[in-house]
Structure 1
Amino acid sequence: MTATVPAAVAAAPAKVRRANFASAWLGWMLDGFETYSIVLVGSLVVADLIGQGASPLYFGTILAVQLVAWAIGGLTSGVLIDYFGRRRVLMVSILTYAIATGLAALSPNFTIFLILRIIAGLGMGAEWGPGSALVAETWSDRTRGRGIALLQCAFGVGFLVATGVFWLLGPTDPGTWRWLLAIGALPALVVLFVRRRVGESPLWQESDKRRREANARAQRGEAREGDRALTTFTLRAIFADRVSRGRMLKLLALSTASLVGWWAVSTWVPQYAGAAVKAAGAAPTTTTLIVVAYNAGGVVGWLVWGLLADTIGRRWALFGYFAGALVLTWVLFGFHWGSLGLLTLVVAVNGFFTLGQMGWMATYPGELFPTHLRGSAITVVFNASRIFAAAGALLSGAIVGGLGGIATAALVIGSIYVLGIVFSLIAGPETKGLPLPK
């Protein structure tokens, strides 16, 4: 697992590398737009399709079903990109979530809305893996952390775009959610760009060639040493090997901390800020500005993650971000903020750590597994823990409804960042500046 691919194999024309990055960036940015659109308009959806005063569990259900669908779509795409390539799966995934999101804007009732959000979630989950693999496999070893961070910050940019569009459409207009989701059909146009400009990963092409050759030898009864690793089903291969299994379990602990912490805590930031704005008697648009501050902090956090990962290393950068996320979650939700200015600042710093840390999942796992398993490995890390995050979203909704406070739910669920602190330094070897394993 430590051998590396020759430079000639890993090389790709600069024009292709730029197109690959642009397509992955656009796809992930629009994923962020879709994701945060639901966070912003979830309460409007519930009020419109269920009725005013509906239980917070309805909002938690929207988040939970999308998370589960995202996990299923992501896990499926990881296997598909290892066997059929990064480019093809990228196109299908973008088209799926774009069409389903556009149709969701026309939902006549809550049940149909949930069904369409499940389909959209499948496509959204499937988009991340091929885009991340394409960029990781065509970026230089020395600056891969920064390249992946630049890609991952697109998710936060999508948050900012969604927030801006939400503000322009009118945060209090009951029909805003339909218009915001209708705009979500635009990513379908990205498929045209992907189809014309994006090239396949040379690393995957070489890996696919070796896999096909190994399968052919196995059918002739001429299997060589190492062929079994190439011909074993990817998910089984990851957990069959003792070293890769140990790494995967530790990475899953880290991703559970990241995703549960974000989905079950920070998704309540808009409503928490809205309550503070209302109590202060400020204009409702102030809530939007506070949410923008959170997302802007996340974008900066992603970019700084890449710089730190390429300088002090992946593991120490992880440790710092998890520690910061724990502290800032308690600072944000553990105190009463009389000043909206101070609240905005704390929200921004919270976003730096809780949202900005997500970059590690596209960087570190892919550097611990060989090319023929990379797609499956990174999507398992990124998506399997979403099941726990879905439970966290429902639990936080129940805590809010039962105890009557968003802050209480955030403080309880946010403590999971302790898990990230513990596992950040033992998840695997340092990979800063090293070539991707063959």
Structure 2
Amino acid sequence: MEATKELAAPARKWNARLTSKHWKTLKGAFLGWIFDGYEALALVVVLSPLLKSLLTPEQAASKPFYAGMVIGITLLGWGVGGLVGGVLADYVGRKTVMMWSVFLYALFTGLTAFSDTIVTMCLLRFITGLAMGSEWSTGIALVAETWPAEARAKGAGFLQSGFGWGTLAAALIWYLLQLSMPLGDDTWRVMFVVGALPAFFVLYIRKDVGESEEWIAAVKNQEWAATEESSEKGGKRPFTLKQVFTEREAVRRILLTSLLSVVSIAGWWAVSSWLTEYTRTISAAQGIQSHWDSYVSLLYTTGAIIAYIVSGFMADAMGRRWFLFVTFAGSLATTFLIYSYASTVTEILVFSPINGFFTLGCAFSWLAIYPSELFNTSVRSTAVSFVFNSARLVAWFFPIAAGAMIKTFGGIAPTALAFGCVYAIGLVVPWFLPETAGKDQ
């Protein structure tokens, strides 16, 4: 009789167990990721005027190469900083590392506004990337360890949407600055001054965001195993990065998810980051004088934000592996639509939000949802950070290579199509990973 009642009981709503404490934790991680998103797109949208200001006449002859260099150097710093910060967060705590990450990247983003040469710019971009790298993995770990299982994927998707809102803010602010041009050709510098504002956000983290109790308990109880396949406990704590690469199942998971991470990150930076520049090229060829690149950025980012918000629901409904398959299939298809089929600005405007839904939205949401479910608490930040940031250590070369190959391939479109083929890897790899949807609920 009791069993019958239990079966007849209505399913618990996904948000039934959420409290104000959960939402404050999400808010802290969410706001931090907004600033990261702003920082990422701000560099992309101001790249052309930035290079115009900083390159010498001799350097300007190789503009695509230097464009790729600035982006690539940022990615390299982001990757190195993320790896270091992810490990530190497993030892000193998620909250502490998040605070320092936000403060330092805000500081060096502001200093970027004062760059006077391309060398200075690259140096400051690298340092900014170092500081910025660990903010994401600490936020992901906090949400994964504090939110109840039935709401975890949704919370991760909401967190990831912060990146989209940040990129949308960057696109909108740059659009408004282009209308007024307060500093003339140096107006791009204002974008980086705005990027220094997150320094004040540290005060909120310090006051309202708590440390992960699950992480505190795991360290106290000496639970060192990297995955549920191992039962290692007690004794001297192994170095977290070594632990992840010691257990056979952990190694398999981290290598496969890192490969998928390379696909997401390389695909975005080597393909989608050229969308605004490609739009400028198409509008110039059509003889259209307007801010079409800003419109495309806004629509592209809007598509990504929608994906971020619904991604947790999609991943729970479809399962993690099918979600990954659909993500990369959509990224591949829409990349070919834009760079192969679209020939007018109007067509790019139509396809850009769909492309953003997959290549920026879904293709980054899975990184917030899935890897944290594959690894245990004591190594979670290290593992998640490795998956995300080791990909940057590989992918940082792609925008540089793309920039160099644009001239060889005869334009942005054929180069983007060549690099876009990387999404095909994402159609195969997910099926070699375990399904985690519905576990621990």
Scaled by the length of structure 2, what TM-score is found? 0.90
Following superposition, the deviation at residue 309 of structure 1 comes to 0.5
Q: Which amino acid aligns with 1:124?
A: M
2:89 maps to 1:84: no
Quick one: distance in 2 between partners of 1:54 and 1:432?
A: 51
Quick one: distance in 2 between partners of 1:228 and 1:408?
A: 55
Following superposition, the deviation at residue 283 of structure 1 comes to 3.4
Quick one: distance in 2 between partners of 1:273 and 1:228?
A: 57
State the SS of the aligned residue for 2:146. coil
Q: Who is 1:183 aligned against?
A: 194
Quick one: distance in 2 between partners of 1:80 and 1:336?
A: 46
Q: Who is 1:33 aligned against?
A: 38
The partner residue of 1:293 within 294, 299, 303 is 299
Q: Which amino acid aligns with 2:217?
A: E
The partner residue of 1:350 within 352, 355, 366 is 355
Contact 1:57 1:401 in 2 (8 A): no
Q: Who is 1:222 aligned against?
A: none
Quick one: distance in 1 between partners of 2:34 and 2:113?
A: 20
Quick one: distance in 2 between partners of 1:202 and 1:13?
A: 16
Q: Summarize deviations over 1:55-86 as a string: whole Å, max 9, x none.
A: 21111000111101000111011101111110
Following superposition, the deviation at residue 341 of structure 1 comes to 2.7
Quick one: distance in 2 between partners of 1:193 and 1:292?
A: 29
Contact 2:104 2:131 in 1 (8 A): yes
2:368 maps to 1:368: no
Quick one: distance in 2 between partners of 1:112 and 1:99?
A: 15
Quick one: distance in 2 between partners of 1:334 and 1:20?
A: 43
2:324 maps to 1:318: yes
Following superposition, the deviation at residue 152 of structure 1 comes to 0.2
Quick one: distance in 1 between partners of 2:19 and 2:310?
A: 25
Following superposition, the deviation at residue 230 of structure 1 comes to 6.9
Q: Who is 2:10 aligned against?
A: none
2:177 maps to 1:169: yes
State the SS of the aligned residue for 1:199. coil
Q: Which amino acid aligns with 1:432?
A: A
Quick one: distance in 1 between partners of 2:311 and 2:40?
A: 21
Quick one: distance in 2 between partners of 1:98 and 1:388?
A: 25
2:164 maps to 1:156: yes
Q: Who is 1:46 aligned against?
A: 51
State the SS of the aligned residue for 2:185. coil
Q: Which amino acid aligns with 2:238?
A: T
Q: Summarize deviations over 1:365-410 as a string: whole Å, max 9, x none.
A: 1101100010000000001011221111111111112233000110
Quick one: distance in 1 between partners of 2:342 and 2:247?
A: 50
Quick one: distance in 2 between partners of 1:34 and 1:54?
A: 27
Contact 2:153 2:315 in 1 (8 A): yes
Contact 1:142 1:432 in 2 (8 A): no
Q: Who is 1:58 aligned against?
A: 66
Quick one: distance in 2 between partners of 1:313 and 1:369?
A: 18
Contact 1:166 1:176 in 2 (8 A): no
Alignment of 1:273-422 (within 5 A): 273-338=279-344, 340-357=345-362, 358-422=364-428
Q: Who is 1:9 aligned against?
A: none
Quick one: distance in 2 between partners of 1:235 and 1:228?
A: 17
Quick one: distance in 2 between partners of 1:345 and 1:303?
A: 21
2:125 maps to 1:117: yes
Q: Summarize deviations over 1:24-56 as a string: whole Å, max 9, x none.
A: 111100100011000011122211011464421
2:217 maps to 1:206: yes
Following superposition, the deviation at residue 342 of structure 1 comes to 2.4
Distance 1:432 1:230, change over 3 A: farther
Distance 1:50 1:82, change over 3 A: same
Contact 1:63 1:393 in 2 (8 A): yes
Quick one: distance in 1 between partners of 2:246 and 2:235?
A: 10
State the SS of the aligned residue for 1:435. coil
Q: Who is 1:135 aligned against?
A: 143
Following superposition, the deviation at residue 306 of structure 1 comes to 1.4
In structure 1, stretches of 5+ residues that fail to align are 1-11, 215-224
| Identical positions, percent | 39
Distance 1:233 1:404, change over 3 A: same
Quick one: distance in 1 between partners of 2:176 and 2:77?
A: 29
Q: Summarize deviations over 1:116-144 as a string: whole Å, max 9, x none.
A: 11111011111111111111111121121
Following superposition, the deviation at residue 281 of structure 1 comes to 2.8
Aligned length: 412
2:77 maps to 1:69: yes
Contact 1:46 1:54 in 2 (8 A): no
Quick one: distance in 2 between partners of 1:374 and 1:429?
A: 17
Scaled by the length of structure 1, what TM-score is found? 0.90
Distance 1:320 1:230, change over 3 A: farther
Q: Which runs of 4+ in 1 moved over 4 A?
A: none
Quick one: distance in 2 between partners of 1:16 and 1:329?
A: 40
Q: Summarize deviations over 1:159-189 as a string: whole Å, max 9, x none.
A: 1100010011117742121100011100001
Q: Who is 2:3 aligned against?
A: none
Q: Who is 2:7 aligned against?
A: none
Quick one: distance in 2 between partners of 1:316 and 1:35?
A: 28
Deviates more, 1:84-93 or 1:397-406: 397-406
Q: Which amino acid aligns with 1:147?
A: G
